Structure 1
Amino acid sequence: MSKSHVLVLPFPAQGHVNPLMDLSHELAKHDIKITFVNTDFIHKQIMKAKGHKEQVGSDQIQLASISDGIEQEENRNRHEILLESIWQVMPKKLEKLIQEINNEAESEKISCVVADGTMGWALEVAEKMGIRRGALFWPASASFLALFLSIPQFLHDGIFDPEGTKMEDQSINLAPEMPAMRTTNLIWSNVCDNFNATKIGFNFLMRSSKVLESIDRVICNTSLELEAPTIAFAPKILPIGPLQARKSNDIDQSATSFLPEDPNCLNWLDLQQDKSVIYVAFGSLAIYDHIQLQELALGLELSNKPFLWVVRSDICNGANYDFLKEFEDRLSSRGKVVNWAPQLKVLSHPSIACFLSHCGWNSTIEGLINGLPFLCWPFFCDQFIDENYICDIWKVGLRFDRNNGIINREEVAYKIKKVLIDEGFRMRALQLKEKTINSVKEGGSSNKKLKNIVDWIKA
């Protein structure tokens, strides 16, 4: 008898790889074989961070990789080159990989493809090769997905031009009780930094939105309890999350980390008082200049609270390195700076008081399932929607005011004190934690949806 075999394909970015691996672990629990396909570059990064260990915590999950077509390293930091290469190169590479897998064992041929929502071309490859089942997975909020699905309508309404380069600065609200978003924060307008790059980024997303629009089901790492109005607005969204709330302790939480984690920060947290530490982390992509880094550091100092601050190695260099070394030496009695941290373990530690975050959806979820108040520091695209959720809808955190684009040290210290003094933030966060975790338990709304997905894959 043939065994269900799912090929899983994430977009090559940390915030996309992690939740799709979490989904893979859930499917593997139901005796579904997984081939998890990264780009060669991302696969090498993960292997290096893991000390070249292939294990991911389940014998059912096999790792594989294909080329993204980028040969010159300097091109890898140019988003528009990566996006163009994904569409032009990766479909042929994926087709070849599927052929190789299917030729190895008749009883374990690929029977289903689950691809990231921005990698919808993978379903076209699957259909071409006779694979009848395919679904897209959305790693961000359902509200950002609904916005994404609405791009053709925005274009029709003239909110931006056919190249995505000219747009009015306005607030978009798709339905009552859904978070608003400003047009100037749409992903292609603040990730790509020139006219040609913006045009390429917009075209990539238009192609992706057309594939999303054409399929019946989009699996989303959210829950009805978190985003009921959005799911009512866009019923094709299947909320099966938050996947992070399903993680068991025997799964290696660093299995897909692009950077080596510093476990010593957990020992440092053990020495701190309960609910005393400010955890500061801005994800794998955010960049901030030297002045802003200094203001944040001095704001943490001014708050007079213990802090654990993640500053990636690509930021902790040059003038930043010298400043941070002096800063950490001066505040060694109550502060620690690390290049990367085991975030889920940090956020579940009893010493953490609040999460100062870039508000990426994965980080937002990880803070929610640990009942933590937030301080919001978004950088681009969906992070502003998540900030609106945190501050305006769930009311579990505060946003910072920017003075000429800079969040100054006084503002940092003031908001830290404010979010810690007001117990209402923690109370609401704990209530939301309970609702969110219940959704993935037996009988919960997300658990039922996941079972339906498993039955559909196995049918």
Structure 2
Amino acid sequence: MAEAAEQSDDDSSRSCNFLVVAYGIQGHLNPARSLARRLAGIDGVTATLSVQVFGHRRLFPSSSGDEEVSDGVISYIPFSDGLDDGSWPTDSDEDRERYRSACIQSLSSVVRRLAGAGRPVTCVVCTLNMPAVVEVARAHGLALAMYWIQPATALAAYYHYFHGHAEDVASHAADPAYQAALPGLPRPLRIRDMPSFIVDDATGGGNGISKMVLQGFRQLFQQMDDEGMMVLVNTFEALEATAMEALRPYLDAGVFAVGVPAVPLPGAGEKDDMVHLFKQDQKSGYMAWLDARPARSVVYVSSGSILTYSAREAEEILLGLRRLARPYLWVVRREGRSPEVDRLLLEEAEAAGTEGVVVEWCDQVRVLSHPSVACFVTHCGWSSTLEAVACGVPVVAAPSWSDQPVSAHLLEEEWGVGVRAERDADGALTGAELARCVELVVDGGEMAEAIAANVRVWKGKAREAVAAGGPSERSLRSFVKMVQDLDEFARRAEEILSAPPSCS
């Protein structure tokens, strides 16, 4: 691991060791890893990233599963959740308790291991919905921060839902158009624009996973109240300035916009902050294929690392792409793909006149940065949303669950960089709707021109955010300074308490 820079007499150089804990899934791992590496780039700071054993093994296939690995910037130490296969505990109280206890025991071991290696943890940072991490930090007397990897607007929605607005939402939850006024936000949030877990809770709907996640959020916000934890948000100040200001009076331990969109900068070389838990499809030669396509001609379609396509939805998407008669690049992960979807893709590949490429996975930032890409049909995961904004690509927003409706609202109504596609009664994105929305953002006359202008504005603001010494870096350094001050206060208090009483 890289040696920490030589410390100066300035307070900003005081030694600080961060343990960043995240779920070992794509949408949590990448922002957590990027944060850890950026922390380690500050003088006097070291960082360790800890994910569950199953995620660690996918990151480092040649490791034994529990060994520490270093990439020269940060170290990686896995923890066990008692399952270690990527599965979730069942709804039973016994299984959830076993899961919680295993996480606490293993993460406590990681804290002791780092102390024994001469890198005692100063502060624990965890991604959302990891209550066991909060308990570990409390048990070891460590400073604690949460890394909110969703929009600041979603954080505000959850906060106010759990602090006095649940009844208003619940009484109107069956009306998607109802506007709930939440303190500080620039405009009311419609029910359809709220996180799906809130709507499921308010209507009494949702499946077991939805209920479990919402319960986790409820516990998290209770812990935020009890612990007074600092909150880092994966956004940049210009993108959600009003939402960040709306949160500050309530999160008085400190809330920091520290997000840096993944965006290739001229002369910066290949970014190494992104990791891929899925094997990229090299056989298709998709980047060379993009090189051969005209500028602003390709429709890029991806639903991220979790959602899968039903046979009907896959067929509808193909119908929409054929109707557009544009070249397309479509990500359809092999994992979870049904034989019916395989058959549809094979038939499409063999059809005469088809100008499309289907890949199992790709480097999304490279794709979105390519001049041949005209628009991005996305599920509105927050990482994908930030990447679309930073790369300057118009968006067709097709949200399904979690924070995705919030992202769609921001993309269409707050930033004006795309349109939202309406799903049918079965939750499917139809071919006709896909084609309609793509035509609006690419060939829609005045609307397309307005979207293109907004895209350029936000792309410029994203580049300002990632610049060295820019607002995201300054915010991160302010957070580190706060942690250092808390650590210094605790150290001096301990010295005072342990000192022998003076004679009067």
Instruction: Report the TM-score when normalising by structure 2.
Output: 0.80
Which of 414, 417, 422 is 2:436 aligned to? 414
Deviates more, 1:146-155 or 1:376-385: 146-155
How many Å apart are 1:144 and its aligned residue?
Answer: 0.6
Cα distance in 2, alignment partners of residues 297 and 196 from structure 1: 31
Which of 157, 164, 167 is 1:157 aligned to? 167
Q: Name the structure 2 match of 1:95.
A: 108
How many Å apart are 1:79 and its aligned residue?
Answer: 8.1
1:430 counterpart letter in structure 2: R
Q: Name the structure 1 match of 2:399.
A: 378
Provide, for residues 247-292 of structure 1, a one-character-per-residue CA deviation record: whole Å limited to 9, x for no partner.
853443543x221122432122111112111111111111332111
Which of 17, 22, 44 is 1:10 aligned to? 22
**Relative to structure 1, is the Cα distance of residues 197 and 382 closer, same or farther in structure 2, using a 3 angstrom cutoff?**
closer
Whether the 8 Å contact between 2:131 and 2:216 is mirrored in structure 1 is no
Deviates more, 1:264-273 or 1:362-371: 264-273
Q: Residue 262 of structure 2 aligns to a residue in which SS?
A: helix
Q: Name the structure 2 match of 1:134.
A: 144
How many Å apart are 1:64 and its aligned residue?
Answer: 1.3
Whether the 8 Å contact between 1:357 and 1:375 is mirrored in structure 2 is yes
Q: Percent identity?
A: 25
1:206 counterpart letter in structure 2: R
Q: Residue 466 of structure 2 aligns to a residue in which SS?
A: coil
How many Å apart are 1:153 and its aligned residue?
Answer: 2.3
Cα distance in 2, alignment partners of residues 341 and 261 from structure 1: 5
The 5-angstrom pairing of residues 58-457 of structure 1 reads 58-70=71-83, 76=88, 86-105=99-118, 108-131=119-142, 133-154=143-164, 157=167, 159-160=169-170, 168-169=174-175, 170-174=178-182, 175-178=184-187, 180-182=189-191, 185-187=195-197, 198-213=210-225, 214-235=227-248, 236=251, 237-245=255-263, 249-255=269-275, 257-263=276-282, 264-330=285-351, 334-405=355-426, 406-421=428-443, 422-442=448-468, 444-457=470-483
2:228 counterpart letter in structure 1: I
2:464 counterpart letter in structure 1: N
Cα distance in 2, alignment partners of residues 294 and 269 from structure 1: 24
**Relative to structure 1, is the Cα distance of residues 409 and 156 closer, same or farther in structure 2, using a 3 angstrom cutoff?**
closer
Cα distance in 2, alignment partners of residues 341 and 79 from structure 1: 34
**Relative to structure 1, is the Cα distance of residues 29 and 198 closer, same or farther in structure 2, using a 3 angstrom cutoff?**
closer
Provide, for residues 187-234 of structure 1, a one-character-per-residue CA deviation record: whole Å limited to 9, x for no partner.
266699866655443322211111233425211111221111111210
Q: Name the structure 2 match of 1:19.
A: 31
Provide, for residues 277-330 of structure 1, a one-character-per-residue CA deviation record: whole Å limited to 9, x for no partner.
111111111133211110111101110111110001134331110111111232
Number of aligned positions between the proteins:
448
How many Å apart are 1:160 and its aligned residue?
Answer: 4.7
Instruction: Report the TM-score when normalising by structure 1.
Output: 0.87
Whether the 8 Å contact between 1:357 and 1:378 is mirrored in structure 2 is yes
Whether the 8 Å contact between 2:263 and 2:391 is mirrored in structure 1 is no
The 5-angstrom pairing of residues 30-49 of structure 1 reads 30-31=42-43, 32-48=45-61
Provide, for residues 77-105 of structure 1, a one-character-per-residue CA deviation record: whole Å limited to 9, x for no partner.
96889976553431121011211221232
Whether the 8 Å contact between 2:173 and 2:191 is mirrored in structure 1 is no
> Higher relative contact order by CA 8 Å / sep ≥ 6: 1 or 2?
1
Structure 1 vs Structure 2 CA RMSD: 3.2
Q: Residue 449 of structure 1 aligns to a residue in which SS?
A: helix
How many Å apart are 1:454 and its aligned residue?
Answer: 3.1
Structure 2 gap ranges (5+): 1-6, 8-13, 486-504
Cα distance in 1, alignment partners of residues 261 and 35 from structure 2: 7
How many Å apart are 1:123 and its aligned residue?
Answer: 3.4
Whether the 8 Å contact between 1:49 and 1:260 is mirrored in structure 2 is no
Q: Residue 225 of structure 1 aligns to a residue in which SS?
A: coil
**Relative to structure 1, is the Cα distance of residues 178 and 282 closer, same or farther in structure 2, using a 3 angstrom cutoff?**
farther
Cα distance in 2, alignment partners of residues 286 and 321 from structure 1: 16
Whether the 8 Å contact between 1:282 and 1:357 is mirrored in structure 2 is yes
Cα distance in 1, alignment partners of residues 137 and 461 from structure 2: 37
Q: Residue 124 of structure 2 aligns to a residue in which SS?
A: strand
Cα distance in 2, alignment partners of residues 315 and 200 from structure 1: 22
Cα distance in 2, alignment partners of residues 159 and 21 from structure 1: 35
Cα distance in 2, alignment partners of residues 347 and 197 from structure 1: 31
Cα distance in 2, alignment partners of residues 348 and 445 from structure 1: 23
Whether the 8 Å contact between 2:323 and 2:435 is mirrored in structure 1 is yes
Cα distance in 1, alignment partners of residues 117 and 472 from structure 2: 35
1:226 counterpart letter in structure 2: L
Provide, for residues 377-410 of structure 1, a one-character-per-residue CA deviation record: whole Å limited to 9, x for no partner.
1110210011011111111101113343343222
Cα distance in 2, alignment partners of residues 356 and 167 from structure 1: 27
Q: Residue 244 of structure 1 aligns to a residue in which SS?
A: coil
Which of 40, 43, 66 is 1:28 aligned to? 40
Structure number, greater radius of gyration: 2
Structure 1 gap ranges (5+): none
Cα distance in 2, alignment partners of residues 226 and 347 from structure 1: 19
Whether the 8 Å contact between 1:7 and 1:113 is mirrored in structure 2 is yes
